[in-house]
């Protein structure tokens, strides 16, 4: 199947997506930002539809919209008590905008499905390059702020007195998250993006108790899902994102069962 150019592209892209989502996902779960990640993916949908409407590449629209809004939404929803309401309102608005832009553009149906559900067929070599560069940027920044990010994600209270500015870290992380959402959307689509950005990391934390190991496992779980998803999608002609979602959920269920098993012993 790798003799087909688009499958090769999809395969390379999915490896980078898996690495980025594994690394960023561990922090998403620790910072309890799963819900915000949903919102960002909906914002990404609006951005991609805007891009289709304006005649740009969908990825550019996604990056523009998610980067512009991530900090805003993140700061608005810092107060836990009103997080849900704020996020629901923002989600609603952006889904609405996404639908509007799609209906205004001429090529509605096919581009809508590929934005929402992802598409392996469409990935060109230049898109793969763009995706690799974006992934490298996300990973490089993560390495630069790794210690601070880790401290503030896994012990907010302790990090308060460690002498670095937590607001800066949280803003930078939201921007990284926005980029990761745009990257991951290329294969799984904006509707299912949170799958790769939350479930592998959420599963990993039941198996291991160190940050680096959780990242390793989360990457592995993402890779399993994307590889098997691509293969099964190729064989059956069913959507790749469907298989990825099912596989990640199965891994999560196994993680929960494992946790129960450990507790029972």
Interacting residue ranges for another protein, rule: CB under 8 A: 30, 143, 146-147, 150-151, 154-163, 205-206, 208-212, 214
Work out how close the CB of 97 gets to another protein at its nearest, in angstroms, rounded to a whole number: 35
Question: For another protein, which is the closer residue by CB, 142 or 190?
Answer: 142
CB atoms within 10 A of CB 219: 22
Question: For another protein, which is the closer residue by CB, 7 or 19?
Answer: 19
Question: For another protein, which is the closer residue by CB, 84 or 156?
Answer: 156
Work out how close the CB of 83 gets to another protein at its nearest, in angstroms, rounded to a whole number: 15
Work out how close the CB of 153 gets to another protein at its nearest, in angstroms, rounded to a whole number: 9
Query: Which residue in 44, 102, 93, 34 sits closest to 68, CA to CA?
Result: 44
CA distances from 246 to 23, 60, 224, 236, 251 (A): 21, 29, 11, 15, 9
Work out how close the CB of 161 gets to another protein at its nearest, in angstroms, rounded to a whole number: 5
Question: For another protein, which is the closer residue by CB, 22 or 98?
Answer: 22
Question: For another protein, which is the closer residue by CB, 22 or 233?
Answer: 22
DSSP string spanning 192-221? SHHHHHHHHHHHHTTT--SHHHHHHHHHHH
Handedness of CA 105, 60, 202, 247 (dihedral sign): positive
Work out how close the CB of 156 gets to another protein at its nearest, in angstroms, rounded to a whole number: 8
CA dist., res. 78 & res. 12, Å (int):
36
Question: For another protein, which is the closer residue by CB, 38 or 150?
Answer: 150
CA dist., res. 125 & res. 6, Å (int):
8
Work out how close the CB of 163 gets to another protein at its nearest, in angstroms, rounded to a whole number: 8
Token duo for residue 133: 């560069």
Residue 166 in contact with residue 47, Cβ under 8 Å? Answer: no
């Amino acid at each position: 199947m790798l003799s087909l150019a688009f499958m090769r592209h999809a395969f390379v892209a999915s490896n980078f997506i898996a690495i980025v989502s594994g690394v960023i996902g561990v922090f998403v779960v620790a910072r309890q930002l799963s819900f915000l990640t949903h919102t960002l993916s909906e914002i990404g949908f609006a951005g991609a539809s805007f891009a289709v409407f304006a005649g740009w590449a969908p990825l550019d629209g996604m990056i523009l919209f998610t980067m512009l809004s991530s900090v805003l939404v993140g700061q608005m929803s810092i107060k836990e008590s009103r997080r849900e309401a704020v996020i629901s309102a923002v989600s609603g608005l952006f889904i609405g905008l996404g639908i509007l832009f799609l209906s205004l553009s001429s090529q509605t149906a096919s581009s809508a499905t590929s934005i929402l559900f992802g598409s392996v067929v469409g990935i060109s070599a230049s898109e793969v390059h763009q995706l690799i560069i974006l992934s490298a940027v996300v990973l490089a920044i993560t390495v630069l702020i790794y210690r601070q990010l880790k401290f503030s994600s896994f012990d907010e209270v302790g990090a308060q007195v460690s002498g670095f500015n937590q607001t800066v870290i949280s803003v930078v992380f939201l921007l990284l998250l926005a980029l990761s959402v745009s990257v991951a959307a290329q294969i799984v689509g904006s509707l299912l993006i949170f799958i790769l950005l939350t479930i592998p990391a959420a599963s990993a934390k039941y198996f291991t108790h160190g940050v680096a190991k959780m990242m390793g496992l989360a990457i592995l779980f993402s890779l399993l899902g994307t590889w098997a998803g691509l293969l099964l999608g190729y064989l059956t002609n069913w959507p790749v994102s469907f298989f990825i979602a099912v596989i990640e959920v199965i891994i999560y269920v196994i993680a929960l069962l494992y946790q129960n098993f450990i507790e029972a012993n």
